[in-house]
Structure 1
Amino acid sequence: MIPSSIRKVYQGAADRRQMFRMFDRHKERPNRVEDNATALYSGEWFEIGEAEHDYMFEILPPLWMRGDMFAMREFLTGCITSVFFELKIDERIRYFHGYCDLGDRQSPERMRAAIVERESRPVRAMTREERLDHIWSSTHDPYRGYADWRFPAAERGKRIVIVYGQDRSHDFRLLDRLTDAEIAVKLPVHLRYLPDAIAA
């Protein structure tokens, strides 16, 4: 599964449909009922639009508000809940959603700092992990999943996506084993040739 760290999981601003889809982008994981998904969700963030931010603010009274952020009162798992941010970055107001572990009181502030640092980069670039997360976030459920009995025991439960061959064949492959060429094919054209960013 995904390690617990602050990470961008979608490039660009998600519209409302995509936002709701990404709120539970791991819903098809095996053992969903039995496992503790805190590490899976904690630290994930993505950009949204102002309308999506305001819509979420109006759904329910927030659990709390702190200046440029508010937390939802419904928890996804354990102490993980949605925190929404309104941040001024490079003289422009932008909006973000992140999953924070409220068991750690500093989690929202660390998330905010990480978003500002990531989005303030002078050159637009993506890490390999950001590319893979974008592919996962933007791939529809029938074309992605989790490794099952067809894979060696050590790989079961890892994320997989369909890869198409030049001969029109297709098969599921482990997401983290995609080649650079396979990653490029799965990214939108405007993201394919961005330079590699150094992971923080």
Structure 2
Amino acid sequence: MTLSPIRKVFQGIADRHQMFRMFDRHAGRPNRCADDDGALYRGEWFELGETCHDYMFEILPPLFMRGDMFAMREFLTGSITSIFFTLSIDGRIRHFHGYCDLADKGSCERMRAAIVERESRPVRAMTREERLEHIWSSTADDYRGYAGERWPDADRGKRTVMFFAKPGGTTCKLLNNLTDAEIAAKLPVHLRYLPDALAA
């Protein structure tokens, strides 16, 4: 499973519980201990509240602080760590978390620019990819997973979600194969009818 470029993975402002769940959205992946899956995390970002931002700032002394951002001292995998941003967007102070690869010079600045560009759009909209990432982020661990041995070889390791196909019945589907109607059914009501965005 390869993800990477900079992408928003949750719509809305994450509360403390959601924040900690999203810190390791890929915890259940196959071969967790065998692989360096930096591409799964690199580029992920989401919004959080000021209280959560300040809580994370006070946990450990930051690895570094630069104006509107600070980095966590502990690395998630390889050279990837949490970067917390305090950004003024359209006259409002907002807080964000993103995973940046510190071995990639300029990754923090590119993340900041991508967040500001995405959140400065005049109309709220979501790409198909953002809808799928929000579904993955907000689905309980018991109802999401990874395609295993019963799946065709080409699908093994891809993300799956449980879908209620009929009254009293469920089926497991590849996340990327959900239809527009299935995506809408999985999203909270306030996100179902947002316009489509061409790029995140």
Class of the TM-score when normalised by the shorter of the 2 chains: over 0.9
Please report how far the alpha carbon of residue 46 of structure 1 lies from its aligned counterpart in structure 2 after TM superposition. 0.2
Identity %: 74
1:79-114 CA-to-partner distances (Å, cap 9, x unmatched) read 000000000000000000000000012000000000
Q: CA deviation at 1:147?
A: 0.2
Q: Residues 150-189 of structure 1, C-alpha deviation per residue, up to 9 Å, x if partnerless?
A: 2101100000000111333111100000000000000000
User: C-alpha separation between the residues in 2 aligned to 1:162 and 1:149?
Assistant: 17
Calculate the TM-score normalised by the size of structure 1: 0.98
Letter of the structure 1 residue corresponding to residue 198 of structure 2 = I
Give the TM-score of the pair, scaled to structure 2. 0.98
User: For residues 2 and 8 of structure 2, what CA distance do their matches in structure 1 show?
Assistant: 12
Could you tell me which residue of structure 2 aligns to residue 39 of structure 1?
39
Aligned to 2:70: 70
Which residue is 1:125 aligned to? 125
| Residue 192 of structure 1: aligned partner | 192
1:119 positional shift: 0.2
Q: Distance in 2 between matches of 1:95 and 1:79?
A: 23
Query: Counterpart of 1:54?
Result: 54
Q: CA deviation at 1:4?
A: 1.2
Whether 2:12 is the aligned partner of 1:12: answer: yes
Runs of 5+ unmatched residues, structure 2: none
Where 2:162 maps in the other structure, the secondary structure is: strand
In structure 2, the partner of 1:112 is 112
Task: Tell me how far apart the structure 1 counterparts of residues 161 and 28 of structure 2 sit (CA, whole Å).
Answer: 13
Whole-angstrom CA distance in 2 between matches of 1:11 and 1:2? 21
Higher mean C-alpha deviation, range 76-85 or range 161-170: 161-170
Measured in 2, the distance between the counterparts of 1:146 and 1:45 equals: 22
Q: Indicate whether 1:138 and 2:138 are aligned.
A: yes
SS at match of 2:18: helix
Q: CA deviation at 1:199?
A: 1.6
Q: Which amino acid aligns with 1:191?
A: L
Q: Supply the AA of the counterpart residue of 1:118.
A: R
SS of the equivalent of 1:100 reads: strand
Deviation of 1:2 after TM superposition, in Å, equals 3.4
Q: Distance in 1 between matches of 2:136 and 2:38?
A: 19
Count of residue pairs the alignment pairs up: 200
Q: Report SS of the residue matched to 2:166.
A: coil
Gap regions ≥5 residues in structure 1: none
* 1:147 equivalent in structure 2: 147
Please tell me the residue identity of whatever aligns with 2:55: Y
- 1:90 matched to which residue of 2? 90
Task: Please identify runs of 4+ aligned residues in structure 1 that moved more than 4 A.
Answer: none
1:158 alignment partner in structure 2: 158
How far the C-alpha of 1:149 sits from its partner, in A, is 1.2
**Alignment pair present for 1:168 and 2:168:** yes
**Letter in structure 1 aligned against 2:195:** P
CA RMSD of aligned residues (A): 0.7
